[in-house]
Amino acid sequence: MVISRPRGTNDFLPDVTGKWQKLETMLRELCQQYGYKEIRTPIFEETELFSRGVGSTTDIVQKEMYTFNDHGGRSITLRPENTASACRAYLENKLYGQVQPVKLYYMGPMFRYEKPQAGRFRQFHQFGIELFGTEAPAADAEVICFAWELYRRLKIKNLQLKINSVGCPQCRPRYKQALQDFFRPHLDKLCASCQDRFERNPLRILDCKSPICQEIGNGAPLIYDFLCEECSEHFAQVQDFLRAANIDFELDPHMVRGLDYYTKTAFEIQVASIGAQSAVCGGGRYDGLIEELGGDHTPAVGFALGMERIFSALASQEDDLTVDDSIEVYIISAKNKQLKEAAFALASALRSAGISAEIELGDKSFKAQMKAADRLHAAHAVIFGEDEFAKGTAAVKDMINGGQVDIPIAELTVYLQAHRAQ
Ligand code: HAM
């Protein structure tokens, strides 16, 4: 029996990897323009990094991590996200000793044991940026602008940017208390998860997807009435910067996000047309995380986006990233050892000269080789025929504009270099 890939994972075949590479190039270009440098952290980390970093009471840590003991008896976890690892790397490699802010980006696979469905996988790919070392509201706005600019370049439509402030350790306890007072009389009507959240994190009840919890939550007190002066002022300034950058946003006082490390700004970008998993990106400020992981107080802000969801969003508007996978030269030869060797030598010479070239490796007919040249969208076909070969030439056919010329074999590389398709 053929072995299948694990549930919730994907094989990306050559017909899509070209698009992924194009997206990755766009992301790297944006990073260069915004001054973010790449980091690559391990795919697995000590489990404690995530239980402490992401939060021991979050769904991610409680239900979704791929955790195992290695042969040395250490508890290891496949990374469910990259922010905690970026913070660990910042601390471990003493990046706090560099000029601040430090601006990092990453992309790669993340792992969460979730219920697979459209847009939700167990191995998925995130691109993210993290900006360390400043509490300036402009930093939050810059991070949001980055995400917004990417979706603008990708021409993704119907985007909704939702922002919120989730306060800080000074003001949040008062809000938590007010929420518990509000939800207590309704406790038996809340879903099982929210009954669980009531004690440890009542803010999460606000973004529960269950219609009953949502209906009850509609009357809940709003965080904006509880923010301390610093958080309030910070939030107002983030909004001013977003307006200055002409970015449309909506305030969503119920958007809390599923990771425990957020302070002040939290945000999400959604594309309704891709269904239930509409969040294409999410992030926010996490001023306490570095300290939580043993470092000095270091403010930070960032976001991560699901790369698969970009392709879903493009597909939902019948769009896609276009990739030019044409080749420059297809070399055709008659079934004759000498000709085939000359064709083989030309293919090597062209590739050495930086020109993409394909050749029939077996003994397919002349007609089949012509077809292959068409299928691969070759700009030129070089034809080694017996008569021409006897004269020391080969025919070069312009497959785009038509026309054919005989060129001395020794000059083929130079000729093809000089006649590359633009
Ligand atoms: P997150 O909201 O858990 O945040 O994930 C960010 C994005 O990753 C989501 O908006 C979604 O597009 C994508 N994503 C998450 N889970 C899946 C899944 N199972 N399948 C497909 N796509 C998924 C974080 O991970 C934070 N580390 C973001 C952050 C960075 N905050 C500050 N800095």
Which residue out of 126, 259, 274, 292 has the highest number of ligand 1 atoms within 8 Å of its CB and is therefore the one to mutate? 126
Kindly state the tokens that stand for 272: 């309704």
Which residue out of 9, 64, 79, 81 has the highest number of ligand 1 atoms within 8 Å of its CB and is therefore the one to mutate? 81
Reference 307, options 149, 124, 71, 161; nearest CA is: 124
Query: What is the CA(106)–ligand 1 centre distance, in A?
Result: 13
CATH value of 14-171+227-316 in 3.40.50.1390, 3.30.930.10, 3.40.50.11290, 3.40.50.9100: 3.30.930.10
Give me the pLDDT at residue 367, please.
95
Distance in angstroms (rounded) separating the CA atoms of residues 345 and 354: 14
Give me the pLDDT at residue 57, please.
85
The residue-averaged pLDDT of 388-414 equals: 96
Which residue out of 124, 130, 143, 287 has the highest number of ligand 1 atoms within 8 Å of its CB and is therefore the one to mutate? 124
**In contact, 262 and 143? CB cutoff 8 Å:** no
Atom of ligand 1 nearest to the CA of 122: 19
Task: Tell me whether domains 14-171+227-316 and 329-417 share a fold.
Answer: no
The H helix count followed by the E strand count for the chain is: 15, 16
The model's pTM: 0.95
Kindly state the tokens that stand for 220: 């809940």
SS3 310: helix
Q: How confident is the model at residue 207 (pLDDT cuts 50, 70, 90)?
A: confident
The residue-averaged pLDDT of 357-376 equals: 96
Query: What is the CA(112)–ligand 1 centre distance, in A?
Result: 10
Which residue owns the Cα nearest ligand 1 atom 1?
A: 282
The 10s digit of each residue's pLDDT in 336-353 is: 999 999 999 999 999 999
The residue-averaged pLDDT of 35-60 equals: 96
Which residue owns the Cα nearest ligand 1 atom 14?
A: 306
Q: For 329-417, give the CATH class.
A: alpha beta
Angle at 40 between CA 119 and CA 105, to 5 degrees: 65
Give me the pLDDT at residue 421, please.
84
**In contact, 122 and 227? CB cutoff 8 Å:** no
Distance in angstroms (rounded) separating the CA atoms of residues 286 and 289: 6
Query: What is the CA(183)–ligand 1 centre distance, in A?
Result: 28
The 10s digit of each residue's pLDDT in 227-237 is: 999 999 999 99
Give me the pLDDT at residue 209, please.
87
Q: What's at 334, amino acid-wise?
A: A
> Has residue 69 got a pLDDT over 80?
yes
The 10s digit of each residue's pLDDT in 380-400 is: 999 999 999 999 999 999 999
Q: Is the CB of 287 under 6 A from ligand 1?
A: no
The residue-averaged pLDDT of 71-84 equals: 98
Give me the pLDDT at residue 272, please.
87
The residue-averaged pLDDT of 123-132 equals: 98
> Has residue 114 got a pLDDT over 90?
yes
Distance in angstroms (rounded) separating the CA atoms of residues 388 and 339: 10
Long-range pairs, 118-121, Cβ under 8 A, ≥24? 118/274, 118/275, 118/276, 118/277, 118/312, 119/274, 119/275, 119/276, 119/277, 119/306, 119/308, 119/309, 119/312, 120/8, 120/277, 121/8, 121/9, 121/10, 121/308
The residue-averaged pLDDT of 159-174 equals: 97
Kindly state the tokens that stand for 181: 């007072």
> Has residue 72 got a pLDDT over 90?
yes
Query: What is the CA(58)–ligand 1 centre distance, in A?
Result: 14
Percentage of the chain modeled with pLDDT above 70: 100
Give me the pLDDT at residue 219, please.
92
Element (H, E) at 282: strand 279-285
**In contact, 264 and 275? CB cutoff 8 Å:** no
The residue-averaged pLDDT of 68-95 equals: 98
- In order, the DSSP letters of 1-19 are -PPPPPTT-----HHHHHH
> Has residue 276 got a pLDDT over 90?
no
Q: What's at 6, amino acid-wise?
A: P
Which residue owns the Cα nearest ligand 1 atom 30?
A: 303
Q: How confident is the model at residue 275 (pLDDT cuts 50, 70, 90)?
A: confident
Q: Is the CB of 86 under 6 A from ligand 1?
A: no
The residue-averaged pLDDT of 238-248 equals: 98
**In contact, 179 and 222? CB cutoff 8 Å:** no
What is the chain's mean pLDDT, rounded? 96
SS3 213: helix
The two beta strands, 329-333 and 357-359, are parallel
> Has residue 422 got a pLDDT over 80?
no
> Has residue 223 got a pLDDT over 90?
yes
> Has residue 143 got a pLDDT over 80?
yes
Distance in angstroms (rounded) separating the CA atoms of residues 338 and 6: 49
The residue extents of the domains of the chain are: 14-171+227-316, 329-417
The residue-averaged pLDDT of 58-76 equals: 96
Angle at 56 between CA 50 and CA 62, to 5 degrees: 90
> Has residue 268 got a pLDDT over 80?
yes
> Has residue 300 got a pLDDT over 90?
yes
Distance in angstroms (rounded) separating the CA atoms of residues 35 and 255: 29
Q: How confident is the model at residue 42 (pLDDT cuts 50, 70, 90)?
A: very high
Q: How confident is the model at residue 101 (pLDDT cuts 50, 70, 90)?
A: very high
